[in-house]
Amino acid sequence: MKILFVGGTGTIGKKVTAKLQEKHELVLAGSRSGDVQFDMTDYRSIEGMFQKIGKVDALVVAAGGAYMGPLAQLTEEHFYQGIRSKMMGQINLVLVGQHYLNNGGSITLTSGILSEDPIANGTVLSAINNAVNGFVVGAAGELLQRGIRINVVSPGLVEDSAEAIGSYFPGHNPVPMDRVVNGYIKSIEGIQTGQVIKVY
Ligand SMILES: NC(=O)c1ccc[n+]([C@@H]2O[C@H](COP(=O)([O-])OP(=O)(O)OC[C@H]3O[C@@H](n4cnc5c(N)ncnc54)[C@H](OP(=O)(O)O)[C@@H]3O)[C@@H](O)[C@H]2O)c1
């Protein structure tokens, strides 16, 4: 399969792409790194990226951030940062990318455990992750009619991030990277659609 992987150089992405490249042809995309550069917060930049790459069999996104900070200090703009990046960045990749997917193709997005297991300072991410999950549930039926599957992987705190950000996740069990990788493999190579694939 030809797989476009947005965020393929990131903490999660590099482990998933290492596994995928054993069997598939990968195109890595990032804002500075990878084979092709674009900005997922900019709809036109997404269009330009797909025009350059052309048709693919799978689109995978393991990218997109959101503001973390105390609820008492949150502003509307803090939410919009996450909306522009992790929420609409991923959704716009689907809105544009659906027209570049071969029949029988798949889309895999990324949310996260904070959708249902909150931490202090994580309100924006909890909201955004649920929005991404909701988009996938909503979009799956119509995409299926056109022969395209869509799922979202929702990882817990991953092992490779535990040292850097584990202190923000008291009591959370870091998820081994091979389990995280398998969540993406299930979505890309399996048969499910419309699923939130929880890897906690
Ligand atoms: N790490 C965890 O424990 C964890 C747990 C649950 C969920 N998640 C979610 O998983 C996703 C990936 O997390 P991660 O820790 O692997 O992130 P990461 O290490 O920061 O990697 C982010 C990736 O996204 C790319 N990227 C960043 N901004 C971009 C932009 N504007 N346009 C296009 N590409 C962009 C980066 O490439 P460039 O540097 O080239 O831009 C990089 O490849 C995030 O949505 C995160 O919220 C992570």
According to DSSP, residue 73 is labeled G
Which percentage of the chain shows pLDDT scores above 70?
Answer: 100
Of the candidates 27, 18, 16, 6, the residue with the CA atom closest to the CA atom of residue 94: 6
Domain residues for the domain of 77 are 2-199
In one-letter notation, the amino acid at residue 44 is: R
> Could you tell me the CA-to-CA distances from 187 to 154, 164, 179, 181, 190 in Å, in that order?
11, 27, 13, 10, 6
Beta bridge partners of 3: 26, 58
Mutate to test the pocket of ligand 1, among 17, 31, 81 (most ligand atoms within 8 A of CB): 31
Question: Would you write out the chain's pLDDT as a tens digit for each of its 200 residues?
Answer: 999 999 999 999 999 999 999 999 999 999 999 999 999 999 999 999 999 999 999 999 999 999 999 999 999 999 999 999 999 999 999 999 999 999 999 999 999 999 999 999 999 999 999 999 999 999 999 999 999 999 999 999 999 999 999 999 999 999 999 999 999 999 999 999 999 999 99
- Asked if residues 56 and 93 have their Cβ atoms less than 8 Å apart, the reply is no
**CATH no. for residue 68?**
3.40.50.720
According to DSSP, residue 86 is labeled I
Backbone angles phi, psi at 57, to 5 degrees: -95, -25
CB 182 near ligand 1, within 6 Å: no
CB 161 near ligand 1, within 6 Å: yes
Domain count, the chain: 1
Using alpha carbons only, how large is the chain's radius of gyration in Å?
A: 16
Report how many helices (DSSP H) and strands (DSSP E) the chain contains, helices first.
Answer: 7, 7
- Gap between the Cα atoms of 197 and 200, Å rounded: 10
Beta bridge partners of 199: 155
Residue 1 has what pLDDT? Answer: 98
Q: Which two tokens stand for residue 14?
A: 């590099």
- Asked if residues 187 and 197 have their Cβ atoms less than 8 Å apart, the reply is yes
CB 82 near ligand 1, within 6 Å: no
CB 128 near ligand 1, within 6 Å: no
- 71 C-alpha to center of ligand 1: Å? 23
Burial 145-155 (b: 16+ CB within 10 A, else e): eeebbbbbbbb
Over residues 155-172, the pLDDT tens digits come to: 999 999 999 999 999 999
Closest ligand 1 atom to residue 41 Cα is: 31
